[in-house]
Amino acid sequence: MSAPSMTLFHNPASPFVRKVMVLLHETGQLNRVALQPSQLSPVSPDAALNQDNPLGKIPALRLADGTVLYDSRVILEYLDQQHVGNPLIPREGSARWRRLTLAALADGILEAAVMIRYELALRAPEKHWAQWLDAQREKIRRALAVLEADNIAELSCHFDVAAISVACALGYLDLRHPDLQWRDAQPQLAAWYADVSQRPSMQASVPQV
């Protein structure tokens, strides 16, 4: 087995990193990437990461020639073009835009969920902004409702970029926001998620905190 040629700034609790790990697993590329542990938050940055990604966010992927790619969507696209199997991001046509939009919906859930997490975990309780927190929760609720109403069949047909992104978003809601009880209003999504959670790629990347 050859040595890894790329380095991924990694934290096992990050859902954006998890998307990358799942795609690496699904495409048989795990051994091409070395993991560089990164502990960070918006108020306690990782200096080594900042050298490579001025935004100070993970995931960031350093290639063999020193080029650094970020954010997770760019990394997924790059890695999906580095294997010989079926693409997990359609290369062209309407499927490409549909699947990427579904992935963006999942990323939007994640962005709102991570913002809530930072507000609750990093700011003093007396400074929590209830209206803003509610607005983020509403984004999540609306997005989940659309997934339930319109996208179950599309999610079920292929474990690709869209399904990976939605699965990682749901996993993060379970980890950080069990109070949302997202399964109650989304039974079909819950059944789909129970199924895809059994995939080796999902099992191998269960968040660690």
Ligand X SMILES: N[C@@H](CCC(=O)N[C@@H](CS)C(=O)NCC(=O)O)C(=O)O
Footprint of ligand X (CB under 6 A): 14-16, 40-42, 56-59, 71-73, 114
Rounded to 10 degrees, what is the CA torsion of 82, 87, 89, 94?
140
Nearer to ligand X, 55 or 64 (CB): 55
Minimal distance in Å, beta carbon 114 to ligand X?
A: 5
Nearer to ligand X, 1 or 209 (CB): 209
Minimal distance in Å, beta carbon 188 to ligand X?
A: 26
Minimal distance in Å, beta carbon 31 to ligand X?
A: 23
Nearer to ligand X, 122 or 135 (CB): 122
- Beta strands (DSSP E) in the chain are 6-10, 33-37, 60-62, 68-69
Please give the residue whose beta carbon sits closest to ligand X in the complex.
Answer: 71
Nearer to ligand X, 15 or 171 (CB): 15
Minimal distance in Å, beta carbon 187 to ligand X?
A: 28
